[in-house]
Structure 1
Amino acid sequence: MSKDDVAAGGARPAEQRLLDVKNLEVTYANGAAAVRGVHLSVGAGQKLGVAGESGCGKSTLALALLRLLPAGTKVSGEILLDGEDILTMKWGRVRAVRWAGASIVFQGAMHSLNAVHRIGDQIAEPILLHKKATQTGAKTKVGELLEHVGLPAARADAYPHELSGGQRQRVMIAMALACDPRLIIADEPTTALDVMIQAQILRLIEQLVAEQDLGLMMISHDLAVLSDTCDRLAVMYAGRVVEEGPASEVYENARHPYGKALSAAFPRIGDAASRFAPRGLPGDPPDPSALPTGCTFHPRCPVAIDSCATDDQALRDAGPQHRSACVHAGSQLPAQPTSASAAESAS
Structure 2
Amino acid sequence: MTLLEVRDLRVTYPGGAAAVRGVDLTLPAGRKLGIAGESGCGKSTLALALLRLLPAGTEVSGRVLLDGEDVLTMRWGRVRAVRWAGASIVFQGAMHSLNPVHRVGDQIAEPVLLHRRASRARARALAGELLERVGLSAARATAYPHQLSGGQRQRVMIAMALACAPRLIVADEPTTALDVMVQAQILRLIEESVTGHDLGLIMISHDLSVLARTCDRLAVMYAGRVVEEGPAGAVHERALHPYAAALSAAFPRVGDPASRFAPRGLPGDPPDPAALPAGCAFHPRCPVAREECATDDIALREAAGSRRAACVLVPGTAGGRPVPGTAGGRPVPGAGRGDRPPDGPPADPSGRTA
TM over 0.5: yes
**Letter in structure 2 aligned against 1:176:** A
- Counterparts of 2:291 and 2:176, CA distance in 1: 38
The residue that corresponds to 2:318 in the other structure is none
The residue that corresponds to 1:120 in the other structure is 105
**Letter in structure 2 aligned against 1:304:** A
- Counterparts of 1:280 and 1:240, CA distance in 2: 19
Q: What are the Cα deviations for residues 175-208 of structure 1, in whole angstroms up to 9, with x where unaligned? A: 0000000000000000000000000000111111
**Residue 105 of structure 1 pairs with residue 100 of structure 2:** no
Q: What is the TM-score when the length of structure 2 is the normalising length?
A: 0.91
- Counterparts of 1:287 and 1:199, CA distance in 2: 34
- Relative to 1, partners in 2 of residues 1:67 and 1:51: Cα closer, same or farther, differing over 3 Å? same
SS in 1 for 2:72: helix
Q: Which shifted more, 271-280 or 112-121?
A: 271-280
Gaps of 5+ in 1: 1-15
Equivalent residue for 2:152, pick from 167, 170, 177: 167
**Residue 28 of structure 1 pairs with residue 13 of structure 2:** yes
Q: Which shifted more, 325-334 or 216-225?
A: 325-334
The residue that corresponds to 2:196 in the other structure is 211
Gaps of 5+ in 2: 316-320, 326-330, 335-339
The residue that corresponds to 2:40 in the other structure is 55
- Counterparts of 2:184 and 2:24, CA distance in 1: 29
The residue that corresponds to 1:225 in the other structure is 210
The residue that corresponds to 1:193 in the other structure is 178
Q: Higher helix proportion, which one? A: 1
Q: What are the Cα deviations for residues 8-54 of structure 1, in whole angstroms up to 9, with x where unaligned? A: xxxxxxxx111100000000011100000000111111000000000
Alpha-carbon shift at residue 295 of structure 1 (Å): 0.5
- Counterparts of 2:11 and 2:232, CA distance in 1: 26
SS in 1 for 2:227: strand
Q: What are the Cα deviations for residues 244-288 of structure 1, in whole angstroms up to 9, with x where unaligned? A: 000011001100000000000101011133245434211100000
Equivalent residue for 2:65, pick from 80, 83, 87: 80
Alpha-carbon shift at residue 318 of structure 1 (Å): 2.3
The residue that corresponds to 1:343 in the other structure is 346
- Counterparts of 2:68 and 2:16, CA distance in 1: 30
Percent identity (aligned): 73
- Counterparts of 1:107 and 1:42, CA distance in 2: 22
The residue that corresponds to 1:316 in the other structure is 301
Alpha-carbon shift at residue 344 of structure 1 (Å): 7.0
**Letter in structure 1 aligned against 2:291:** D
- Counterparts of 1:272 and 1:221, CA distance in 2: 24
**Letter in structure 2 aligned against 1:147:** E
Any conservation in 1 of the 2:194–2:201 contact (CA below 8 Å)?
Answer: yes
Any conservation in 2 of the 1:277–1:343 contact (CA below 8 Å)?
Answer: no
**Letter in structure 2 aligned against 1:40:** L
Q: What is the TM-score when the length of structure 1 is the normalising length?
A: 0.93
- Relative to 1, partners in 2 of residues 1:342 and 1:278: Cα closer, same or farther, differing over 3 Å? farther
SS in 2 for 1:280: coil
The residue that corresponds to 1:254 in the other structure is 239
- Relative to 1, partners in 2 of residues 1:288 and 1:344: Cα closer, same or farther, differing over 3 Å? closer
Any conservation in 1 of the 2:241–2:322 contact (CA below 8 Å)?
Answer: no
| RMSD after superposition | 1.7
**Letter in structure 1 aligned against 2:144:** Y
